């Protein structure tokens, strides 16, 4: 089953977060003019944007698209946080009971905000996600599958847009089987470079990740909501010799060519580098997935835009 079967056309898609130097979620947000600058860079090259949270950043993005009459469709997400301890998380996934209880209340609030924004911008928001990487074994914001199903049902009851949940491809094989019949489409993340794949086996590995889910659930469309290649690493999780602008360019072009040919909606991760992410180390790989630098300069893969 293809994504067009639920009235979403294939097209170029990208994950967008506009936080610059000195900015971060919950602290300093990009301005209207900064987000407008970003979207004018992306306009005409990508049709779909994926946003992760119903926060001030998202408010401004939707306002800019609406006010400036920009040609984007948005996958809007609610960012849900830990409702259970995950003792297997290597960077800390345990919380006191009172914090978990407060998180549940906050998650319900976030889902209500998602519904409100979706209904306020029905011509811009084309699909909705009730969370991001909250059920995989290494997450620090673990949410039980029953809660995710609850959130999907809440959103589907109140909104007309297609509803999904964004997660690494692995949980969809088993843990999320019950969720498959609840969502309108399945959203997977695939990162060959995080799984120590060389560039020459990267696209084939992405195909295996995609078709492993698409063939398992032929009655549901499958979207790739994250796939990308970093350009720098301090060696934590990714071999520094396996990331560069050259390698990013190869993977991006192979990924997009395959997605276009097969009519697969693929959100490339991501538009711009984000210094706030990960550890304070400047070479932390989490900071270096953008097709553009934090200064909005195109990396090698985007040189054709100049």
Per-residue model confidence as pLDDT tens digits over 261-291: 999 999 999 999 999 999 999 999 999 999 9
Establish if 258 belongs to a structural domain.
yes
Establish if 292 belongs to a structural domain.
no
SS3 233: coil
What CATH number is attached to the domain comprising 207?
3.20.20.80
Establish if 219 belongs to a structural domain.
yes
Establish if 121 belongs to a structural domain.
yes
Give me 150's structure tokens.
């609850």
Nearest residue to 80 via CA among 147, 156, 175: 147
| Model pLDDT, residue 305 | 72
Give me 121's structure tokens.
């911008």
The pTM (predicted TM-score) of the whole model is 0.97
Beta strands in the chain (DSSP E): 12-15, 48-51, 73-77, 125-132, 162-168, 186-189, 222-227, 266-268
Contact (Cβ atoms closer than 8 angstroms) between residue 127 and residue 8: yes
Give the total number of structural domains in the chain: 1
Establish if 216 belongs to a structural domain.
yes
Strand bridging mode 186-189 / 73-77: unpaired
Establish if 254 belongs to a structural domain.
yes
Nearest residue to 294 via CA among 23, 33, 14, 15: 23
Q: Domain range holding 193?
A: 3-229+242-274
Establish if 38 belongs to a structural domain.
yes
Establish if 147 belongs to a structural domain.
yes
Q: What is the pLDDT of residues 106-120, one digit of tens each?
A: 999 999 999 999 999
Mean pLDDT of the chain: 97
């Amino acid at each position: 089953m293809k994504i067009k079967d639920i009235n979403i056309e294939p097209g170029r898609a990208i994950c967008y977060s506009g936080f610059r130097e000195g900015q971060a979620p919950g602290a300093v947000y990009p301005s209207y003019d900064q987000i407008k600058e970003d979207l004018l860079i992306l306009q005409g090259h990508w049709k779909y944007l994926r946003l992760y949270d119903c926060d001030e950043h998202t408010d401004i993005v939707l306002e800019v698209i609406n006010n400036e009459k920009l040609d984007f469709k948005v996958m809007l997400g609610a960012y849900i946080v830990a409702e259970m301890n995950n003792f297997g998380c290597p960077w800390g996934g345990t919380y006191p009971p009172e914090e978990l209880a407060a998180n549940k209340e906050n998650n319900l609030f976030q889902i209500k905000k998602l519904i409100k924004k979706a209904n306020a911008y029905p011509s811009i928001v084309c699909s909705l996600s009730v969370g991001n990487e909250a059920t995989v074994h290494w997450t620090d914001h673990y949410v039980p599958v029953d809660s995710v199903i609850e959130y999907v049902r809440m959103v589907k009851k109140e909104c007309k847009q297609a509803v999904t949940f964004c997660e690494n491809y692995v949980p969809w094989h088993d843990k999320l089987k019950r969720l498959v019949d609840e969502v309108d489409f399945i959203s997977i993340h695939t990162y060959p470079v995080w799984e120590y794949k060389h560039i020459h086996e990267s696209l084939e590995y992405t195909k295996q990740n995609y078709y492993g889910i698409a063939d398992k659930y032929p009655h549901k469309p499958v979207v790739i909501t994250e796939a990308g290649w970093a350009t720098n690493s301090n060696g934590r999780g990714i071999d520094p010799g396996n990331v560069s602008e050259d390698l990013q360019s190869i993977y991006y072009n192979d990924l997009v060519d395959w997605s276009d040919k097969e009519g697969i909606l693929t959100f490339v991760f991501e538009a711009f580098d984000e210094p706030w992410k990960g550890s304070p180390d400047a070479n932390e790989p989490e900071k270096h997935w953008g097709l553009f630098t934090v200064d909005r300069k195109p990396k090698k893969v985007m040189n054709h835009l100049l």
